[in-house]
Structure 1
């Protein structure tokens, strides 16, 4: 690919070299080109580019000009700069171009109009709906001072204006997006993450209320013991109330435990995904800490997914562990790695299919295990490989290699909905941890895996 690209660039260089020889620009015109290019790079704002566009023809050829550019909101051409008055800052003075927008060079009574074209490959990213690839108009006057050779030069200058204008429009759009995202993150932190912390307080209050129910039950039990020899009928009624209260209390306690787990899971993901550092740096920023994968990540997620697995008829099998659970302590971003497992479990729910095993029995399962890879990353730097296997039709080799690409979905997706983003997220998170991901088709299904470096000070013999 790199060699082919180089050859293509070399071909275009030769074409441009020949084209400039045909253009046969005068020295003054070449100097005007060079000046425009130098200043367009030196000044970064759109407003300065507007002024450069009208200043160069005036300084080099004593030609006045007006520059019209698409308004980002209205989509209409409006006057942004002139060689006589400079930048047009007032919205009242930024008059719209009243004539039909030309797609080729045209003349008016006293001027020549040059369409300013952008980069066609990037037109879709413009913040407005352009007239084809026309971003604006360059009006030069008086037309009597523009001969055929000058017209050809100004046409080429308008093209260069277009490409520089297009780039700066996109840069400005990206800066506006970044500003909006930073504001959005601040709003999320204020209106989502901080209020979410109140749920912890609500859960604590609910647990205290449940403890109050327990106290009532204890008092009721004492009352039953006291009345059982005094009033048999009253004692029977109190026993019924006691058992009803016990049933309700146990149900509430179970719901409270489920709410606590959901809160912890949601809070972890909110804090991790909406972390301000991600948005400020433009990439995932890790907050590493020692993490016991069994107790802090895998068991909570398996417990959360267990009802979903059961509902879909999926058996969970973890009998293939090759190393003691308690010894796997890795320095990771717990929230991000939890979401790696969450994505893989979610895919298991979607794509696990029943298969016939060697005994002819129908099996639909997910299994997970881990094993040590000695010196996997380099001498003395070992890895831990985490495997998640699901039954189903084995993928072909090409599918298995491409599954982690952004937007790619395997040939076995059937009618299942998805965007192809989940596994790409898995790949990103694992790789910024210094790890690797992959998929290996097996006899009865497919095994997804990721490998993380072991904590450096963990002796390998402790994991044997």
Structure 2
């Protein structure tokens, strides 16, 4: 048996990058920063392809076979028809019998199809061996060609394929197979691998979509609807707690009428129980309201149906309906970490009322993420007045004509003391997975500020970071949309090539 690398084999990729070429092999290898860069990359790839095909020197029949395969692989949707197309183009056009193995898991190849004249010499299942492996093998009248996937997308498959291999294509050949014919077969199988990979991804996406549809139904039935009943139970519990106050008043009245001091003492104890229970009830109910809002906001059916966050905007009081409920949730944790709320560092006037039109649930989670970061990352600083400690402030202000003439913005921010972040680009912190290197001990996923950016940009706003003298400020600016007024007309947003 002889194992060899076929001339021109694009090991590691089925995208047919020019052999011997330098520079990026695929679009994922380069960050395009301008239309000129994209045009230069595409121009280089086209010219490289022209050189490749001139070097291949395929016969007209071989070129025709590649074209027919491309046409029919686009036309046929079913997996079985695709397999038959792969096998019968070589059989009809060149008299070559073949079979196709597909990798079922990391260690097992399963025979997916065979042409009618292939026979049944080879097993229906096999593992990795000298014939079925990462290299081309010519053995006992069979040519074994690894079917490679696109390595840029192999992480989307059900498992990570070893050496980017998702199958093996076997041709029944004679002993005098020429190098040029082997080269054509290798290039043909490259195209089979690309199309097979796309079909595997498409099937997996269908499975995911089916699961998501079922999940949405389950969430509605098993989470959202039952959660609505908690409000009924809370109302019943509130009435019971309030009844304690009535019982306490009745006992105190009875004690005065009957001159029974024990009744007055019992009434006082009931009053104390009532006060403690009401305090705990109010705290639990606040958490229930916020959790319910977050659940219903994040698990909206339209998010899943459209594959993105969908806004449901309505008028609200920014302070009382968005900011203060989140601040009250995080104040106990801020106090545990020794963080003081100090509005002398900046903030909104305490009596200022701002009514805007936003998605209340999503914007509330923006502030929840910012306050959560304040809990984790606020550090000690000495203020101009000599005080030393951990401090936080928040606020908002109107920005006239920020988005365009006549389109004002509202700038909202959270400031925390500590060492300013060292960033080459302030927008780094809003990228998915970003973690600040100066705080490695704080737990986190790097998703919070990315979520902030997503929600703000859905509102057609913008996010930002500013290093201040005593700490860090995270801010965002939303178009000021008022109740009853037409939606502001904003200039088109330029796509961000870094995302």
Do they fold alike, i.e. is TM over 0.5? yes
**For residues 75 and 438 of structure 1, what CA distance do their matches in structure 2 show?**
48
C-alpha displacement of 1:151: 2.3
**Correspondence for 1:294:** 319
**Correspondence for 1:395:** 421
**For residues 170 and 352 of structure 2, what CA distance do their matches in structure 1 show?**
75
**For residues 301 and 98 of structure 1, what CA distance do their matches in structure 2 show?**
56
**Correspondence for 2:458:** 432
Structure 1 counterpart of 2:278, from 253, 257, 266: 253
1:324-403 aligned within 5 A: 327-398=353-424, 400-403=426-429
C-alpha displacement of 1:424: 0.5
**Deviations for 1:188-209, whole angstroms, at most 9, x for unmatched residues?**
2222222212211111111121
Q: Is residue 228 of structure 2 the alignment partner of residue 197 of structure 1?
A: yes
**For residues 99 and 428 of structure 1, what CA distance do their matches in structure 2 show?**
45
List alignment gaps of at least 5 residues for structure 2: 1-32, 486-499
Contact 2:100 2:169 in 1 (8 A): yes
**Deviations for 1:7-64, whole angstroms, at most 9, x for unmatched residues?**
3443333333222112111101000011111222233443332122112112211222
| TM-score, length-scaled by structure 1 | 0.89
1:306-325 aligned within 5 A: 306-318=331-343, 320-321=346-347
**For residues 363 and 130 of structure 1, what CA distance do their matches in structure 2 show?**
53
**For residues 391 and 347 of structure 2, what CA distance do their matches in structure 1 show?**
16
Q: Secondary structure at the match of 2:92?
A: helix
Contact 1:399 1:410 in 2 (8 A): no
Q: Cα distance 1:196–1:401, how it changes in 2: closer, same or farther (>3 A)?
A: same
**For residues 128 and 399 of structure 1, what CA distance do their matches in structure 2 show?**
36
**Deviations for 1:371-405, whole angstroms, at most 9, x for unmatched residues?**
11111111111011112111111223526331111
1:210-225 aligned within 5 A: 210-225=241-256
C-alpha displacement of 1:108: 4.3
**Deviations for 1:99-130, whole angstroms, at most 9, x for unmatched residues?**
72233332344432222122233333321343
**Correspondence for 2:301:** 276
1:87-236 aligned within 5 A: 95-97=124-126, 100=129, 101-143=132-174, 146-228=177-259, 235-236=260-261
How many residues align? The count is 447
**Correspondence for 1:29:** 62
The Cα RMSD (Å) is 2.5
**Deviations for 1:350-389, whole angstroms, at most 9, x for unmatched residues?**
1111211123220321111211111111111101111211
C-alpha displacement of 1:260: 1.1
**Correspondence for 1:80:** 112
Q: Secondary structure at the match of 1:197?
A: helix
Higher helix share: 1
**Correspondence for 2:93:** 60
Contact 2:357 2:483 in 1 (8 A): no
**Correspondence for 1:462:** none
Contact 1:437 1:449 in 2 (8 A): yes
* More RCO (CA 8 Å, sep 6+): 2
Q: Secondary structure at the match of 2:330?
A: helix
Contact 2:412 2:475 in 1 (8 A): yes
**For residues 417 and 177 of structure 1, what CA distance do their matches in structure 2 show?**
30
**For residues 401 and 110 of structure 1, what CA distance do their matches in structure 2 show?**
59
Q: Secondary structure at the match of 1:384?
A: strand
| TM-score, length-scaled by structure 2 | 0.83
- Stretch deviating more after TM superposition (37-46 or 447-456): 37-46
**Deviations for 1:157-194, whole angstroms, at most 9, x for unmatched residues?**
01111122122212222222222222222222222222
Q: Secondary structure at the match of 1:403?
A: helix
